[in-house]
């Protein structure tokens, strides 16, 4: 689920995986399909997400992921529908493997943004279930997620 900083639901995402592929559907609060992402996996790790408009099915962007030896995404590159890099993210994690922030750059390597996450709730496996994103001292995002009990 994705929330605005005033705790109002903005939309929700449903992810399904089968083998080395999957799909992620992003919906508005009134359940209109806004975006579709076709997913490619390397085992359990997403290595590519191709995003499409939910109504027109137009290809909007692709995302490519790089991982460290612990399986954490260390770099995410977003390319436009022509395959040209638009933004690059370097991600950081806490000792439990939860993402705690990112630094974003444009394709030339110039600084674009820096967001830090404060985790406010975790589940029994120490995975974040609620977190706030801040740029400086200003809240920018609020995230809440749940895990299917069948998920490993």
pLDDT at residue 96, rounded to an integer: 93
pLDDT digit string, tens, across residues 14-38: 999 999 999 999 999 999 999 999 9
Q: Are 70 and 97 in contact (CB under 8 A)?
A: yes
| pLDDT, position 149 | 67
- Annotate 42-59 with DSSP letters as a single string: ETTEEEEEEEEETTT--E
Specify the pTM: 0.79
Q: What is the pLDDT of residues 35-50, one digit of tens each?
A: 999 999 998 899 999 9
Instruction: Report whether 81 contacts 61 (CB < 8 A).
Output: yes
Beta-bridged to residue 131, according to DSSP, are 119, 143
Tokens linked to 152: 């490993």
What DSSP line would sit under 67-109, residue for residue? E-TTS-EEEEEEEETTS-EEEEEEEEE-TTS-EEEEEEE-TTS
Most confident of 4-8, 69-73, 84-88, 139-143: 84-88
Q: What is the pLDDT of residue 128?
A: 95
């Amino acid at each position: 689920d994705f929330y605005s900083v005033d705790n109002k639901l903005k939309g929700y995402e449903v992810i399904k995986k089968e083998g080395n592929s999957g799909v992620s559907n992003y919906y508005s609060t009134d359940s209109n399909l806004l975006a579709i992402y076709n997913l490619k996996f390397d085992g359990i790790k997403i290595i590519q997400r191709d995003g499409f408009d939910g109504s027109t099915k137009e290809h909007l962007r692709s995302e490519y992921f790089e991982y460290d030896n612990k399986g954490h995404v260390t770099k995410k590159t977003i390319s436009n529908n022509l395959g040209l890099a638009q933004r690059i993210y370097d991600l950081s994690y806490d000792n439990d493997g939860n993402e705690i922030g990112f630094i974003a750059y444009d394709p030339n390597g110039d600084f674009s943004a820096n967001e830090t996450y404060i985790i406010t709730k975790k589940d029994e496996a120490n995975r974040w279930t609620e977190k706030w994103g801040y740029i400086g001292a200003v809240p920018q995002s609020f995230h809440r997620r749940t895990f299917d009990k069948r998920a490993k």
